[in-house]
Amino acid sequence: MNSKKDTFLKMLEQHKALIHKVSYSYCKQSEDRKDLTQEIIIQLWASFETYDPQYQYSTWIYRIALNTAISYYRKHQNRRERIETTAPIFEIKTTSEEIENDNPDLEILHSLIEKLADIDRALFLLYLDGVSQNQISDIMGISTSNVSTKINRRKKKLKTQFSNLKAK
């Protein structure tokens, strides 16, 4: 049991940044992000027994983390909309607080990613992280050609939006 726990913790530590990125991309509020991160870790532990070594740890973690994040995002969508419409003054700009972002371009990029629908966000996140299209296809359970089409479409749109926002 200790050896399994140790292996899991070591794997978690090595891929901590990946989990943070997924949480960060799906939750604006820091409390939600903490909840989501915890939920991802719980799901990873629950699935650890059935981990298939033919896949890399990163692929496996991405799959579980993104599925968890998408479920979480959908579940809290309604709640978030209510909070956003009734109490916009409580929105916290966590970008600068949490990762000391002094790059306005990065902030624009994050804000554009936040506006993406849940599945598109997952695809684009994987693309930005340099995951290959074959791996993305494995993780998301869609065909490679579908992955390529969606990413290219999203990339084109995002670049246009980025340029427009930057021009402002």
Partner 1 sequence: MTDKELLQLWQSTDHKLEKMIKINKQIIGEVTALKINRSLGRMRMPKSIFILIGIPYTFLLWFICMITFLADSYIMASGFLIISLIMSYVVISYLLQLYQIGQIQSSRDIITVQQHLSQLRLSSFNCLKANVIQLPFWSICWISMNALKESPLIYGGSNVLIFSGLSYLSYWLYTNLSLDDPRSKVSQFFLSGIEWEPIEKAIQLAEELDEYRRL
Considering only 38-46, 62-70, 79-87, 151-159, which stretch makes contact with partner 1 by CB under 8 A? 151-159
Instruction: Supply the minimum distance, in Å, between the C-beta of residue 164 and partner 1.
Output: 11
CA distances from 91 to 25, 37, 72, 94, 122 (A): 16, 20, 19, 9, 23
In 5-90 the beta strands, taken as DSSP E runs, fall at none
Considering only 12-20, 56-64, 69-77, 132-140, which stretch makes contact with partner 1 by CB under 8 A? 12-20
Instruction: Supply the minimum distance, in Å, between the C-beta of residue 59 and partner 1.
Output: 18
Rule CB under 8 A: choose which of 53, 88, 130, 141 binds partner 1. 130
Angle value at C-alpha 14, between 138 and 32, nearest 5 degrees: 75
> Rounded to whole angstroms, how far apart are CA atoms 166 and 159?
10
Scanning the structure block, which residue is given the tokens 């050896």?
Answer: 3
Considering only 7-15, 47-55, 57-65, 85-93, which stretch makes contact with partner 1 by CB under 8 A? 7-15
Considering only residues 90 through 129, tell me which ones interact with partner 1, judged by CB under 8 A.
98-101, 103, 105-106, 109, 128-129
Instruction: Supply the minimum distance, in Å, between the C-beta of residue 106 and partner 1.
Output: 6
Burial class (CB in 10 A: 0-12, 13-18, 19+), 45: middle
Instruction: Choose between 145 and 160: whose C-beta lies nearer to partner 1.
Output: 160
Residue type, 122: A
Size of the site for partner 1 (CB under 8 A): 23
Is residue 46 part of the contact set for partner 1 (CB under 8 A)?
A: no
> Rounded to whole angstroms, how far apart are CA atoms 19 and 13?
10
Is residue 162 part of the contact set for partner 1 (CB under 8 A)?
A: yes
Scanning the structure block, which residue is given the tokens 């992955």?
Answer: 147
